[in-house]
Amino acid sequence: MSERKDVITSFEDAGVLPGIRWAYLSATARVSVDYSEAAGHDATWVGITRFTLFRDRLDRVFACGRYAVREGADAELSLDVLHAELSERDIATLPRLAPDLVVRADLNGSPGWGWKGWRWLLASSAFGKLDELPWPQKSPTKQRVAQQPNPDPGQASLFDDFAAEEVPGLAELITATHQLDRETLVVAHSQDVDHDGRELVMGRARLNYGGGDAWYWRHDLLEVPPSESGRGSATKPAPTDPETVPDAPVKLRHSDMKEPRRRADGGGQ
């Protein structure tokens, strides 16, 4: 079985991919609502805001960081914190996952999440440019992740131009230099708020010096519809019909009522 198939199948079955999808769709929906060119928002605002909200939603759905479930905590109070500033649809579709399924696994200060022996980091992209992500221009951490060895020996690799007797030593040297504490993938995301365009992929980054493909493999995470089950209290499942969900305890903002959106792309972090 290829790494791609193994990762996607196991992550999907465990509920990890549904959690990632929910977090991304919640974040991009909020960006679309809040975006206003008249208020001075631009492509940079879209990219940074989406990255920040995506990170927050991942912590929520996987009960990490400030959303971690603590022993003895009041269940209703926990839900108030978990649901704060979420839309009715966000609450209705929030996947019901075990609070210890995923842990925070940051890498050199870059936000990361871990499941079993895997980690994923986030990378923001301009819309339509996911396959051209310039890893050499990214942070040293992202470059290090992209320098992990090719997972499929059947594919072409950077060792193809060397003599056979030189390859083992070179591979061992690079592996030792760039070995991480766990296999690390990247979840790349983009958004076009003008045309309601969304892109979300998970894959094995490939250090593309001189251009070329940015991935050894990648998978479109929006191919599968998000889960319609919700995570609520232990005794009362969350309703699946957004129309029947009670209002969340949120603050009203003037940005919730504003003129129609104008063009912006989402690049950035």
Predicted confidence at residue 194, as pLDDT, reads 94
Q: Which among 104, 113, 111, 175 is positioned nearest to 141, based on CA atoms?
A: 111
Residue 155: inside a domain: no
Q: Tokens at residue 152, please?
A: 């499929």
Residue 150: inside a domain: no
Residue 172: inside a domain: no
On average, the pLDDT of the chain sits at 81
Residue 160: inside a domain: no
Predicted confidence at residue 155, as pLDDT, reads 52
Residue 167: inside a domain: no
Residue 174: inside a domain: no
Q: pTM of the entire structure?
A: 0.77
Residue 156: inside a domain: no
Domain that holds residue 233: 3-128+182-203+221-266
Q: What is the mean pLDDT of each run of 10 residues along the chain (269 residues)?
A: 94 98 98 96 96 98 92 71 96 96 97 97 96 95 95 58 41 53 97 96 95 94 64 37 40 40 49
Predicted confidence at residue 265, as pLDDT, reads 52
CA distance 22 to 96: 11
32-41 pLDDT tens trace: 999 999 999 9
Quote the number of domains for the chain: 1
CA distance 154 to 180: 23
Residue 115: inside a domain: yes
